[in-house]
A = this chain, B = another copy of it.
């Protein structure tokens, strides 16, 4: 399965043949079909698993932080870490996949919904506390989710993402705090 994620991320759904996957995993074709019903099912499954993993990991970093700045900083740090150390995850979720498999459209919608909800949660808390300006939090969460994804993708395009990671996290945090008008 790890082999499959790697191959799918590298080659894209269609150019990743079952033969590529099994030879990356060093097993025979038949073995693939012993464990998975078909290529598409595996791909969709992998997409969902990966999406869950990403969101779970970020949420884990967000909860148990007391203030919004901390929540954002830690969540973004977690996101950037995944992007830098497991680029295949980001590749699969943000770039490849959708468009190749029709049944993925729906899964993508679920993923985006969960991602947005994940970022919206700390904003709701902050608004309860009255530390951010009144606003349509759903829309703000959409915008922040998109903003973070784009910055992360740009980060990965740089020659040395690790070096830039710290600055990127800080600047994204500041961007978000300004956008919600945070009054510490």
Residues of chain A at the chain B interface (Cβ within 8 Å)? 11-15, 95-102, 105, 108-109, 112, 116, 133, 135-136, 139-140, 142-151, 153-154, 157, 168, 171-172, 174-175, 178-181
Contact = CB atoms under 8 A, between A and B. Distances in A.
Given A146-B147, A146-B148, A149-B150, A175 B139 contact: yes
- Copies of this chain held together in the complex: 4
Given A151-B139, A157-B109, A13 B99 contact: yes
A144 B105 CA distance: 24
19 contacts: A13-B99, A15-B102, A95-B98, A96-B99, A99-B99, A109-B157, A112-B153, A116-B154, A139-B171, A140-B175, A143-B147, A143-B150, A143-B151, A143-B172, A146-B149, A147-B147, A149-B150, A178-B179, A178-B181
Given A13-B99, A96-B99, A98-B96, A143 B112 contact: no
A142 B146 contact: no
B181 A143 contact: no
Nearest to A139: B171
A27 to B, nearest CB: 19
The 4 closest A-B pairs by CB, nearest first: A146-B150, A96-B99, A143-B147, A179-B179
Most buried by B among A153, A154, A181: A154
Contacts of A172: 139, 143
Contacts of A174: 135
Most buried by B among A15, A99, A139, A168: A99
